[in-house]
Structures are given as structure tokens and as C-alpha cells.
């Protein structure tokens, strides 16, 4: 498959901006009009521009995943990567994107910002994806499909073999957002990347790594795709502090693994306690750090929880999610408070 055929012609021919720190990072740096007197914060130099190629960070991410550095690039949250996907692949007035709904709202918001029409593909009753069914309904001018696994807000994994079957049959871009994969009991799709050049995987440090405020996400894909993302991204999209702290987070495996274990334990406990509440009609199985459940008058329940200072997400307005509430797994103490108030309200 020739990925370049999917790239917008203006991006293929784009000569990217050559920033000062692109080639040379050390020496007598008199080329960037910055303050030459050293400023540091937590050991990180602040008076010079950060590395636009994110060399150190990309190496650490690549080692963490077991891929090559040329297969990753990082954004200010994985939400920034969504922008690059539209910039590189979606031609306004010509292309559209497909989104497997119900899912995370940013795919559709970003499509609207870029003026790209959205085809809504509905996941089945159990929120599974079916490659054959997708191929039957997808319009020809669809350039990109957005999938999320584990899916937000339903919590389930999408069938791996269906995703891989689609990547092999559909010669377009398949994006799988794995923001919650560290909480799942299956490995990431990253190990399948070398098989299929049209698969893009989004990951983030906002969830399992406890770095939501840092704004650091990344995309894993074929070298060709990554090279074009490097062309369209702002030269200094990540600041030096974020990159330094991101490297540390990825290298300290014990602390995030402990948090993931505790979250999985609490996820099981909340699911079982919710299932014991008679008014709760359904608790959906989750491989993420949240649970989706259905209960009567969900919106009112959310409002009453809010009055008690407990904030959960009413997902009732999404297709197929009538009367559904999404609750994040908190600390054991927070989860106890939530369960106690919910029982009282119901």
C-alpha cells in the first residue's frame, strides 16, 4: 500500500519551516535571537528553544514500546495529533472521515473545525466493530476511520482481529486511540504496526501515567506517516519541561504500574457494588479506568450527585446510551463516597 497516495498534495510538496534548533543543538548558538544567559527550572534549560525533533523523548517512547524512534512523534496531548491527521490526510471539499460511535467527542469536534464532513458508523449493541459491515456502508471518499479501544465512554475493547482485517482490506487510514490501553488486560496494537502501514495508534500520558496537566500524547505509525506529521507540526510544539518530565514518567515503571493495579482492583469492586444495586439496569464491562452504567433518570441522578460535590459524566445524550452515566475510577476513598451517595439517591 502506498501511503503517499493518501496524503494531501500540498503537504507532500510542502517544504517545512527550518527552525533554528533543527540540525544543531550544541555550540555557540547565535542563530535564534534568544537570551544567552542561562535560565534553569528543575534542571531544565529554559532560555534556549527545545529540540523540535524531540530526539530524547522519542527515543524513550520508542524504547518503552519496542519500536523505532522513526515510528513515533509526540504532541501536546494526543488531541494535538488529531489536528495533524486532518492536516495531512483530509482535503477540504473532497474527503470525509468516519467515526465509530458512540465514542470520544474530540474526533468529531476536530473534523468540524477543519470543515471535514463526518460519516457516523454505529458500533453494534455490544459496542463492537465489524469490518465487513463497515466496508459495506462506508462512502468512497472516506479517508480516515477513528476507532477508540478501549472505547470511551463504553469501556470495551474493539475486536483486534476486526481492526487488523480492516487495515488489510481498506486502503485508507485507520486511527486507533489507545488512551486507556494500560488499564486493559490485553497488549497494545503497537506490535502489529509493522504489518499494516495505514494503522495509526494514539497514546497518551494523561491517563495511566498521571500526567494530564503535562499535555503529552504521541502517535505510533509507519515512518512515512511520522515524517509528514513532523512536517506539519509547529516546530516547538512541546516545551522542554514537558519532554523532560515525560521521559522520567516513562522510565519509572513501578509507580504507574501500581496505580494501574489499584485502578483495576477498584474498577472490579465498583462494578460489583453497582451490580448489587437493584435500580441499576446494566453495568457495562470495562477495560479502562472508568465504568459506564445505566440507571433510571440518569440526568437527575447526576444532578443530585453534583449537589453532594460528586461529579460524574451524564452520557445519556450519546447514541445508544440512553440513561447512561460514566464514572471514573477514583481513589478507594472517593469511590466509597460515590457509592454511598449513589445508593442514598437511588
In whole angstroms, how close is the CB of 94 to ligand PLP at the nearest point? 27
> Site map for ligand PLP, 23-42, x if CB under 6 A?
--------------------
Name which of 207 and 264 has its Cβ closer to ligand PLP: 207
Pairing of strands 96-101, 142-148: parallel
Name which of 105 and 187 has its Cβ closer to ligand PLP: 105
Residue range at the interface with ligand PLP (CB under 6 A); choices 75-83, 137-145, 270-278, 292-300: 75-83
Using CB under 6 A, which of 104, 121, 146, 229 touches ligand PLP?
104
DSSP string, 312-333: -EE-TTSTT-TTEEEEE---HH
Name which of 7 and 163 has its Cβ closer to ligand PLP: 163
Name which of 49 and 107 has its Cβ closer to ligand PLP: 107
Name which of 3 and 180 has its Cβ closer to ligand PLP: 180
In whole angstroms, how close is the CB of 194 to ligand PLP at the nearest point? 24
Computed on alpha carbons and rounded to an integer, the radius of gyration of the chain in Å comes to 22
Name which of 110 and 204 has its Cβ closer to ligand PLP: 204
Residues 150-209 that bind ligand PLP (CB under 6 A): 152, 177, 179, 204, 206
Residue number with the smallest Cβ distance to ligand PLP? 77
Q: Is residue 101 within 8 Å of 148, Cβ to Cβ?
A: no
Using CB under 6 A, which of 77, 102, 155, 197 touches ligand PLP?
77
Estimate to the nearest angstrom the gap between the alpha carbon of 74 and the chain centroid.
12
- Rounded CA-CA distance 320/284 in Å is 13
Burial string for 96-106 (b: 16+ CB within 10 Å, else e) reads bbbbbbbbbeb
Pairing of strands 142-148, 44-45: unpaired
Instruction: Sort residue 326 into left (φ over 0), alpha (ψ -120 to 50) or beta.
Output: beta
Pairing of strands 217-220, 199-204: antiparallel
Residue range at the interface with ligand PLP (CB under 6 A); choices 14-22, 77-85, 126-134, 224-232: 77-85
Task: Specify the residue for cell string 433518570.
Answer: 297
Name which of 52 and 217 has its Cβ closer to ligand PLP: 217
- Nearest Cα neighbor of 87 from 12, 152, 35 is 12
Q: Is residue 190 within 8 Å of 202, Cβ to Cβ?
A: no
Instruction: Tell me the number of residues near ligand PLP by CB under 6 A.
Output: 12
Residues 110-149 that bind ligand PLP (CB under 6 A): 148
Cell representation of residue 214: 503535562
Using CB under 6 A, which of 217, 219, 283, 295 touches ligand PLP?
217
Question: What's the angle, vertex CA 112, arms to CA 109 and CA 118, rounded to 5?
Answer: 95
In whole angstroms, how close is the CB of 243 to ligand PLP at the nearest point? 15
Q: Is residue 197 within 8 Å of 1, Cβ to Cβ?
A: yes
Instruction: Please report, as ranges, the residues that interact with ligand PLP according to CB under 6 A.
Output: 77-79, 104, 148, 152, 177, 179, 204, 206, 212, 217
Amino acid at each position: 500500500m502506498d501511503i503517499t497516495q493518501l496524503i494531501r498534495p500540498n503537504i507532500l510538496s510542502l517544504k517545512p519551516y527550518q527552525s533554528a534548533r533543527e540540525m544543531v543543538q550544541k555550540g555557540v548558538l547565535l542563530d535564534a535571537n534568544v537570551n544567552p544567559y542561562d535560565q534553569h527550572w528543575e534542571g531544565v534549560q529554559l532560555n534556549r528553544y527545545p529540540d523540535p525533533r524531540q530526539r530524547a523523548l522519542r527515543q524513550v517512547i520508542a524504547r518503552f514500546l519496542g519500536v523505532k524512534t522513526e515510528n513515533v512523534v509526540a504532541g501536546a496531548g494526543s488531541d494535538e495529533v488529531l489536528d495533524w491527521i486532518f492536516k495531512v490526510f483530509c482535503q477540504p471539499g473532497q474527503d470525509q472521515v468516519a467515526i465509530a460511535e458512540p465514542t470520544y467527542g474530540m474526533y468529531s469536534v476536530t473534523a468540524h473545525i477543519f470543515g471535514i464532513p463526518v460519516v457516523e458508523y454505529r458500533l453494534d449493541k455490544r459496542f463492537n466493530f465489524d469490518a465487513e459491515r463497515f466496508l459495506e456502508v462506508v462512502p468512497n471518499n472516506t479517508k480516515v476511520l477513528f476507532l477508540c479501544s478501549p472505547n470511551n465512554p463504553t469501556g470495551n475493547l474493539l475486536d483486534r482481529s476486526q481492526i487488523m482485517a480492516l487495515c488489510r482490506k481498506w486502503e485508507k487510514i485507520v486511527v486507533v486511540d489507545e488512551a486507556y490501553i494500560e488499564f486493559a488486560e490485553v497488549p497494545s496494537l503497537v506490535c502489529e504496526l509493522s504489518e499494516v502501514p495505514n494503522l495509526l495508534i494514539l497514546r497518551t500520558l494523561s491517563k495511566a501515567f498521571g500526567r494530564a496537566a503535562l499535555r503529552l500524547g504521541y502517535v505510533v505509525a509507519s515512518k512515512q506517516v511520522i515524517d509528514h506529521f513532523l512536517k506539519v507540526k509547529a516546530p516547538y510544539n512541546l516545551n522542554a519541561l514537558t519532554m523532560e518530565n515525560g521521559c522520567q514518567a516513562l522510565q519509572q515503571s513501578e509507580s504507574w504500574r501500581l496505580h494501574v493495579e489499584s485502578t483495576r482492583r477498584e474498577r472490579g469492586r465498583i462494578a460489583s457494588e453497582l451490580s448489587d444495586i437493584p435500580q441499576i439496569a446494566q453495568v457495562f464491562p470495562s477495560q479502562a479506568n472508568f465504568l459506564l452504567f445505566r440507571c433510571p433518570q440518569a440526568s437527575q441522578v447526576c444532578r443530585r450527585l453534583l449537589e453532594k460535590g460528586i461529579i460524574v459524566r451524564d452520557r445519556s445524550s450519546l447514541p445508544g446510551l440512553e440513561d447512561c452515566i460514566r464514572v471514573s475510577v477514583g481513589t478507594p476513598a472517593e469511590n466509597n463516597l460515590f457509592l454511598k451517595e449513589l445508593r442514598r439517591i437511588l
